[in-house]
Structure 1
Amino acid sequence: MAPTNTAAYYPSDKAPSLEIGSAPYPTPGPDEIIIKVAAAAINPVDAKIQSAGTSLFPFLTYPLAGGIDVSGTVAEVGSSATSKFHVGDRVLGFPCDFASRSGAFQSYVAVSASVATKLPEATSFVEAATLPSGVATAAEALYAYLGLEHPSVPPRPRNGKTVLIGGGASVVGSNAVQLAVASGYEVITTSSLSNFAHCISLGASLVFDYRDPDLANKLVSAFSERECAGAFSCVEGSNSVVFEVVGKSKGSKTVACAILFSKEGVPEGVKADMFHAFRVKDTPLAEVVFGQFLPAALENGQYKCAPKARVVGHGLESVQKGLDIIAKGVSCEKLVVALGEQE
C-alpha cells in the first residue's frame, strides 16, 4: 500500500491562501526518485504564483502543489536511477515541473534523478533545502548560456578571466559566485554594504555597493585591466549597470539575466537574454553539477549552503507564512519550512 501523502495546495488561480489536503502518492518514472520531504524552501516565484497565477504562468493547472526546493530521504527509486540512488539516501532535489506530483510542499515528491544530489551527513536537511533552484539557475546561466568552464573539486586554477555577477548576496547570486570561483574565474559582484563579508566568504575578489551612485564608473574602472568572461545579472535591479559595464569592457559582451522582460534597455553590441533554470533537467550539465560536482564540493566543505537558512515554521501550515514573508522581500537569507524528520 502506498504511503499517505499530504500537500499544501494553491486551490485555484490567485487564491489568497493555501489549503492543506490529501494528495496522490507520486509513483516514480524510470528516471525519477521519490523523496520523503524533510524540508522545503520558499522562493519569490512561489509568491508570484499565488498573486499572479495564470496571468504570469499560463501553463499552471489547479489545484497545484508548488515548491521547487526540497531535501529529504529517498523513499523509492525509478528503474533507470538505481545506479545513482538507493532507498534511504539523504538527498536534495530540484522538482521543477510545476505539476503537483513534483511540488515540494508535500510529504512525498517526485524529482528527476538528474537534478538530485546525495548529501553528506554534515549537511542538514534545512541547509540543503536552500540550494537546488539556486544551483540550477546559476549553472544554467554560467555554463549553458555564458559557456564558462565547468566547476571542479578542488577549484580550477585561475584562468585570468573575470565574471561580473550583479546581486551576489541573493540566493542565485550566492550560488553563482561559488560556481564561478570553482570554475577558475575571478568574480566581481555587487551587494549592499552589510553583505560584503558574505560575498567575500563565498570567493568574490571585489564587492561594490549596489546603492553607490557612481557604481557603473567604479565597475568599469575595475574591468579596465581585466578580461570579461561574461556577466550574470541575478536580480532585475542590476540589469542596467551590468549592461553598461559589459558594454564598456574588453572580452565577452554576453549577459545572462534572471529577469529580463524587455530588451529595450540592452545597449547595442551587448547580448542579453532571460533564461529558465528548469532547462537544466535531464541534461549532461545536470550530471556535471548535481551528479558530480555538488556532492564532492559539499563533502569537502568547498561549497557552502548559502545564503543562510531561516526556518519560518514546522509543518505544511507554515508554508503560507513563508509566502507572506517572501512577498515583502528578504535579504541574504532563504526561507525554509521543516516538514519532516530532521536527522
Structure 2
Amino acid sequence: MPPNNTAAWLPSKEVKPLQIGPAPYTPPGPGQIVVKNGAVAINPLDWIKQSLGDMLLGYIKYPFILGADVAGEVIEIGPEVRHIQVGDRIMGYAIATAPDSNNPAEGGFQQYTVIREALAAVIPDSVSYEQACVTPLTLATAAYGLFHQEFLGLDLPKIPARSTKNKALVVTGGASSVGANAVQLAVAAGYEVYSTSSPKNFEFVKKLGASRVFDYHSKTLVMDILAAVGEKELWGAFAVGDGSVEACTEVLRKCPGTRKKFVAFAGAPLPPDRVASTLGLVSYVGAMAWWFGKRALVARMSGVKYRWIDSKDILKEGNVVSRAVFQDFLPRALDAGQFVPAPPPLVVGTGLEKIQEAMDLQMKGVSAQKIVVSL
C-alpha cells in the first residue's frame, strides 16, 4: 500500500498562494529513487514562475508542483539504481520544471518526491536535512560550469584538495548559493580563487576557501583583481550576479596570464526585483533577451567567450556532475568536512503551508543565506 502524499500545488498560472492538498504517490522508474522529504529549499525560479505564469516555462501544465532542492530519506529505489539504497539520507535535485521532465512527481514541494539517482548524493548523519537541502541545484550548476568540457573544463575536485600549482580562477558572487558552491569546488580542484561579495560577507567567502574577496561595488574591481592575480595562470571565470559578466570579461581580456578566455555564468543576469520595479515583471523575459544580445556583442568585440548554464545542460545523461561530483566527490567531502553546505539555511518554519511564506521572503532578497522549510 503506497503512503499518502500531500503537496503544495500551483493550481494554475499566476495563482497565489500555493494550495495544500493530496498528491499521487509515484513509484520510481529506472534510475530513480523516492525520497521522503525532511526539508526543502526555495529558489528564485519558484516565485518567478508563480508570478510570470506562462511567460516562463510555458510548457508546464497545471496543476503543478514546484521546488528543486530537497533532502530526506530514501524509501524506495527503482531498477538500475546502483549507488543509493533504501534508508540512505540524501540531498537531491528535483527536476520537475526541466523540459524533459515536466512531471509534478519530480517536484520538491511535497512529502514524497521522485529524484533521479544521478542528481542525488548520500549525506552523513552530521549534516541535517535543513543544511543539506540548500545545496543540490546550485551545486549542480556550479559543477557543470566549472568542470564540463563545453564550459570551463577545469580539473575535477579531489579529496584532499589538489595543490593550486599557480592556477587561479575568478568566481564572482561568492556569498550567493551558486557562488558558494563554485568557490568550494574550485578550491578542491586546485585553483586559487578570487571572489567578490559585499564587505559584510568577506569573511564568509574566505572561510569557503577564497584567497581574496573584493567588493563587487568597487569602481576599481577589475584592476584590484588583476593586481591580485599577478603573473598566475588565470583559467577563466565563473560569473554570478548583476554586472559580473562585464567585470569578468574585462579581467580575462586584460590579464597577461589568461589561459582560457571563457566566462561561465549562472543565475538571472538581471535581478527580477529590479526589473519589476523599473519595467514591470511582465517585461522580464524581454529584458533578459536584450541582455543576452548585448553580451553577445561585447563577447565578439573582446575575444572572450561566455555561456549561460541551463538546466538542460545539467540533465544530460552521464555528465560530469553526476559522476564526478554527486557520486565520487560530495559524499566523501561532506564526511571529511572538506565541503560544507552553503550558504547556511534560514528556516522559515515547518510544514508545506510555510512554503508560500518562504517564497515571498526569498522574493524580497537574502544575503549569504538560503530560505528553507522543514517538513
- What is the TM-score normalised by the length of structure 1? 0.95
8 Å CA contact 1:97, 1:278 repeated in 2: no
Q: Which residue of 1 aligns with 2:304?
A: 270
Q: Which runs of 5+ in 2 are unaligned?
A: 98-102, 270-287
Moved more, 105-114 or 209-218: 209-218
Residue 181 (structure 1) aligned with residue 187 (structure 2): yes
Q: Which residue of 2 aligns with 1:126?
A: 130
Matches of residues 1-343 of structure 1 in structure 2 within 5 Å? 1-81=1-81, 83-98=82-97, 99-144=103-148, 145-249=151-255, 250-258=258-266, 259=268, 261=288, 262-265=292-295, 266-267=298-299, 268=301, 269-281=303-315, 282-285=317-320, 286-339=322-375
8 Å CA contact 1:96, 1:278 repeated in 2: no
Counterparts of 1:256 and 1:236, CA distance in 2: 14
Q: Which residue of 1 aligns with 2:275?
A: none
8 Å CA contact 1:32, 1:113 repeated in 2: yes
Q: Secondary structure at the residue paired with 1:187?
A: strand
State the 1:68 CA deviation: 0.4
State the 1:200 CA deviation: 0.5
Q: Secondary structure at the residue paired with 1:242?
A: helix
8 Å CA contact 2:66, 2:96 repeated in 1: no
Moved more, 98-107 or 261-270: 261-270
State the 1:284 CA deviation: 3.8
Counterparts of 1:103 and 1:23, CA distance in 2: 11
State the 1:226 CA deviation: 2.1
State the 1:13 CA deviation: 1.0
Counterparts of 1:165 and 1:317, CA distance in 2: 36
8 Å CA contact 1:53, 1:60 repeated in 2: no
Counterparts of 1:120 and 1:278, CA distance in 2: 29
Counterparts of 2:8 and 2:70, CA distance in 1: 14
The letter of the residue matching 2:125 is E
8 Å CA contact 1:230, 1:246 repeated in 2: yes
The letter of the residue matching 1:72 is G
The letter of the residue matching 2:26 is P
State the 1:107 CA deviation: 0.5
Q: Secondary structure at the residue paired with 1:111?
A: strand
Counterparts of 2:365 and 2:332, CA distance in 1: 32
Counterparts of 1:315 and 1:111, CA distance in 2: 20
Counterparts of 1:199 and 1:274, CA distance in 2: 23
Counterparts of 2:80 and 2:113, CA distance in 1: 18
Counterparts of 2:194 and 2:120, CA distance in 1: 29
Q: What whole-Å deviation, never above 9, does each CA across 1:120-168 have from its counterpart, x for those lacking one?
A: 1111111000110111010011011110011111111113211101101
8 Å CA contact 2:237, 2:264 repeated in 1: yes
Q: Secondary structure at the residue paired with 2:46?
A: helix
Q: Secondary structure at the residue paired with 1:64?
A: coil
Q: Secondary structure at the residue paired with 2:53?
A: helix
| Matched residues, number | 338
Which is helix-richer, 1 or 2?
2
Identity of aligned residues (%): 42
The letter of the residue matching 2:216 is Y
Aligned-CA RMSD value? 1.3
Q: Secondary structure at the residue paired with 1:22?
A: strand
8 Å CA contact 1:177, 1:203 repeated in 2: yes
8 Å CA contact 2:194, 2:211 repeated in 1: yes
Q: What whole-Å deviation, never above 9, does each CA across 1:14-53 have from its counterpart, x for those lacking one?
A: 1122111111111101100000010000011111111112
Q: Secondary structure at the residue paired with 1:279?
A: helix
8 Å CA contact 2:33, 2:115 repeated in 1: yes
Q: What whole-Å deviation, never above 9, does each CA across 1:254-288 have from its counterpart, x for those lacking one?
A: 00111454141334201011111453333241121
Q: Which runs of 5+ in 1 are unaligned?
A: none
Counterparts of 2:165 and 2:5, CA distance in 1: 49
The letter of the residue matching 2:369 is E
8 Å CA contact 1:165, 1:189 repeated in 2: yes
8 Å CA contact 2:65, 2:96 repeated in 1: no
The letter of the residue matching 2:264 is A
Counterparts of 1:60 and 1:160, CA distance in 2: 47
Q: 1:136 to 1:113 in 2, by over 3 A?
A: same
Q: 1:263 to 1:156 in 2, by over 3 A?
A: farther
